[in-house]
Chains A and B, each alone.
Chain A
Amino acid sequence: MASVVTRVKQKQIAQLMEKEKRLDGRKPTEYREIKVEQGIIERAEGSARVRLGKTEIVVGVKVEMGEPFADTPNEGVLTVNAELVPLASPSFEAGPPDETSIELARIVDRGIRESKAIDTEKLCIEPGKKVFVVFVDIYVLNHDGNLIDASALAAMAALLNTKMSNYEVKEGEVKIKSGYIQLPIKQHPITITCAKIGNKLILDPGLEEELVMDARLSMAIDDDEDICAIQKGGAGYFTPEQVIEFSKTAKEKAKEIRKELDW
């Protein structure tokens, strides 16, 4: 039923945007308040909760030993999964992952993977045989828009908080030693999403803005201020000029958030 309500609001949102205003009083490029808590799940090797306004994401990281991929025998493995749990929104249903959650997981995965955020070569135990496998599980606990940026932040916050078991290799046998080692992190990608409503772009769309948007565009920006992943979504389009304009906005916004989080 949310879509019926927003049909009425659609006009209001569009009219506000003509005056560079938004429903909740934010400026076009303003994010909602970001709150990050780390280490909230003791049983997980790493975890974090991120709140972006009323959007809430918990990410748990588990690290296990497993086999490397044949084409990267010297590198650990990263696996990202997203669950849109039914308690988080009236529009979520229990069941196997649908295209929305698969896309969400793959966007977060791409940001981490393509920026080389994790030093996967340091996760190799025995080349071609044994490596650490890092499972990043995204749990959406309340959906109030912009799951992409919130999930990407939560995943990175959880990885920064991840400790894995210390080990030694003796006569070909892997033995767990006491103590922990920090998961090796090289980059801190930050994903910035904009929504296009009418012909205007706004950052960090809330749920109601998402329901009326034509299209969205997400860019992951790494520590060197380069772009490392992009995804366009939604049934609308962007002009090439809007894309280039947004790449500059995303770079500035990522810098601002990076400073705020001290990453």
Chain B
Amino acid sequence: MSEKPEKLIDKKGIRLDGRKPDELRSIKLEVGVIPNADGSAYIEQGKNKILAGVYGPREVHPKHLALQDRTLLKCRYHMAPFSVQERKSPAPSRREVELSKVIRESLEPSIFMEYYPRTMIEVFIEILQADGGTRCAAITAASLALADAGIPMRDLVVACAAGKADDTVVLDLMDEEDKQGKADVPVAFMPNLNAITLLQMDGKLTLEEFENAVNLAIDGCKKIYSMQKEALKAKYANVKEEAEE
């Protein structure tokens, strides 16, 4: 383990990894990365490396869970044992159970659930490497995977956290800022609908700081949103090229 840094932001307002307070980490998005899945996506955000795969709509298992008027959305957020400094047991922790639930609830408003009654759609998220903000990066990738699976959606869901490091409200917290910062506010957002679909917070913020953090997170979401759309288009540009060959 590395030593704890004294300050997360230097006198010039620059963060440990050289970013300004309102700057995102570098992001790489790729769509259609798992051949077996109906839809899939991969995201790298800072040192986060996350895969999302979607299966469905398919038969509900076990059958009694089937809903008569809409599809059943299931979600599993899971961290690989090697994704963090100290090996994490592969059994689902309470944190993973909670995150699976809030991620599912962040994606559900984007899907036309009533189009596929008596079926289920499953979203599987594997955190290969964690670097702070995994739930947000996972949502960004999972929404792309749903779009890649051809599920009819109202909008893409994109997520990004803001928080407070030392005394500054900052965007897209990395691991050290997440652990030693004063607050973390993950936000998932559908830009076309002006809808927040996930909102959590821990730490301590005044109402004014909270409002700033939410607005900053939404700005970050909007930037990632355009990358999401590019990544989707890039896949179909490839498909088109292959078809023409």
> A residues near B, CB below 8 A?
99, 102-103, 105-106, 110, 113-115, 215, 217, 219, 222, 225-240, 243-244, 247-248, 251
Alpha-carbon separation in the docked complex, A222 to B204 (Å):
9
A-B contact pairs, 26 of them (CB 8 A): A99-B98, A99-B101, A102-B98, A103-B97, A103-B98, A113-B202, A225-B207, A226-B207, A227-B201, A227-B204, A227-B205, A227-B206, A228-B202, A228-B203, A231-B102, A231-B200, A232-B105, A232-B199, A232-B200, A235-B105, A235-B108, A235-B109, A239-B194, A243-B199, A243-B214, A251-B207
Minimum C-beta distance from A2 to chain B (A): 15
When distances are taken between beta carbons in the complex, the residues of chain B under 8 Å from A237 are 109, 190, 193, 195-197
When distances are taken between beta carbons in the complex, the residues of chain A under 8 Å from B95 are 106
A106 near B94: Cβ-Cβ < 8 Å: yes
Residue in B102, B109, B215 whose beta carbon sits within 8 Å of that of A233 in the complex:
B102
A229 near B102: Cβ-Cβ < 8 Å: no
When distances are taken between beta carbons in the complex, the residues of chain A under 8 Å from B207 are 225-227, 247-248, 251
Alpha-carbon separation in the docked complex, A238 to B196 (Å):
5
Alpha-carbon separation in the docked complex, A230 to B201 (Å):
5
Alpha-carbon separation in the docked complex, A229 to B200 (Å):
7
When distances are taken between beta carbons in the complex, the residues of chain B under 8 Å from A240 are 194, 196, 214-215, 218
B214 near A244: Cβ-Cβ < 8 Å: yes
Residue in B109, B206, B214 whose beta carbon sits within 8 Å of that of A236 in the complex:
B109
B202 near A114: Cβ-Cβ < 8 Å: yes
Instruction: Count A/B pairs, Cβ under 8 Å.
Output: 92
Minimum C-beta distance from A161 to chain B (A): 25
B105 near A234: Cβ-Cβ < 8 Å: yes
Alpha-carbon separation in the docked complex, A127 to B152 (Å):
56
B194 near A114: Cβ-Cβ < 8 Å: no
**How many B residues face the partner with a CB closer than 8 A?**
32
Alpha-carbon separation in the docked complex, A99 to B103 (Å):
12
Q: Who on chain B is nearest to A236 by CB? A: B109
* CB-contacts of B14-32 with A (<8 A): none
Alpha-carbon separation in the docked complex, A240 to B215 (Å):
8
Question: Knowing A238-B196, A240-B214 touch, does A228 contact B204 (C-beta < 8 A)?
Answer: yes
At the interface, yes or no: B198 with Cβ under 8 Å from chain A? yes
Minimum C-beta distance from A67 to chain B (A): 16
At the interface, yes or no: B42 with Cβ under 8 Å from chain A? no
Alpha-carbon separation in the docked complex, A235 to B94 (Å):
20
When distances are taken between beta carbons in the complex, the residues of chain B under 8 Å from A114 are 202-204
A247 near B211: Cβ-Cβ < 8 Å: yes
- 3 A-B pairs with least C-beta separation: A230-B201, A237-B195, A235-B108
> B residues near A, CB below 8 A?
94-95, 97-98, 100-102, 105, 108-109, 185, 190, 193-207, 210-211, 214-215, 218
B204 near A226: Cβ-Cβ < 8 Å: yes
Minimum C-beta distance from B175 to chain A (A): 13
When distances are taken between beta carbons in the complex, the residues of chain A under 8 Å from B205 are 226-228
B202 near A110: Cβ-Cβ < 8 Å: yes
Question: Knowing A102-B97, A229-B202 touch, does A247 contact B197 (C-beta < 8 A)?
Answer: no
Alpha-carbon separation in the docked complex, A232 to B188 (Å):
11
Q: Who on chain A is nearest to B106 by CB? A: A232
Q: Who on chain B is nearest to A70 by CB? A: B86
Alpha-carbon separation in the docked complex, A115 to B201 (Å):
12
When distances are taken between beta carbons in the complex, the residues of chain B under 8 Å from A236 are 109
Q: Who on chain A is nearest to B104 by CB? A: A235
Q: Who on chain B is nearest to A98 by CB? A: B97
Minimum C-beta distance from B62 to chain A (A): 14
Alpha-carbon separation in the docked complex, A102 to B215 (Å):
30
A239 near B196: Cβ-Cβ < 8 Å: yes
When distances are taken between beta carbons in the complex, the residues of chain B under 8 Å from A243 are 196, 199, 214
Minimum C-beta distance from A155 to chain B (A): 16
Residue in B199, B203, B206 whose beta carbon sits within 8 Å of that of A238 in the complex:
B199
B105 near A230: Cβ-Cβ < 8 Å: no
Residue in A99, A227, A231 whose beta carbon sits within 8 Å of that of B100 in the complex:
A99
Starting from the known contacts A227-B204, A228-B202, 13 additional A-B residue pairs (CB-CB under 8 Å) come to A99-B101, A102-B98, A217-B199, A228-B205, A230-B185, A233-B101, A235-B105, A237-B195, A238-B196, A239-B196, A240-B194, A243-B196, A244-B211
Q: Who on chain B is nearest to A100 by CB? A: B101
Alpha-carbon separation in the docked complex, A230 to B186 (Å):
10
Alpha-carbon separation in the docked complex, A226 to B202 (Å):
11
When distances are taken between beta carbons in the complex, the residues of chain B under 8 Å from A235 are 105, 108-109
When distances are taken between beta carbons in the complex, the residues of chain B under 8 Å from A228 are 201-205
Alpha-carbon separation in the docked complex, A31 to B213 (Å):
29
